[in-house]
Amino acid sequence: QVQLVESGGRLVQAGDSLRLSCAASGRTFSNYATGWFRQAPGKEREFVAAVSSSGRITDYADSVKGRFTISRDNAKNTVYLQMNSLKPEDTAVYYCAASPAYYSNYITKSQITYQYWGQGTQVTVSS
């Protein structure tokens, strides 16, 4: 089992920056690729960013590329999502998820491959 707890979400204005954190506990966190997903009101949950278990490989949704940065600190069992130049359309509940890594550079954006999920943190961007 891996337990994930997100934090850092809050109300901000368009153009602001925000950093989300995802703290993991349980099994060896460095054995898991990790992703951030989000769900806006009335919409399906969507992929935002992912990082390999090694931290060397990252992937982003086109909508956040160049504005968001995912990173991880395996020593602290924590994954981060740095969000810059926030837009109202970034408003959503943000979820952290972990997927068993088959090799150190394994990375995935498919929700079905993520085995563990956090409860989410609300990010609201006002215009």
Say if residues 8 and 23 touch (Cβ distance below 8 Å): no
Average pLDDT, integer, range 2-11:
97
Q: What is the mean pLDDT of the chain?
A: 96
Q: How far apart are CA 23 and CA 29, in angstroms?
A: 10
* pLDDT at 117 > cutoff 80: yes
Q: How far is residue 30's CA from residue 103's CA, in Å, rounded to a whole number?
A: 11
CA–CA gap between residue 5 and residue 62 (Å, rounded) = 26
CB contact at 8 A, 50 and 107: yes
Per-residue pLDDT band at 102 (split at 50, 70, 90): confident
Q: Note the pLDDT of residue 33.
A: 96
Rounded to 5°, angle at Cα 67 from 12 and 81: 70
Question: Is it the case that residue 63 has pLDDT exceeding 90?
Answer: yes
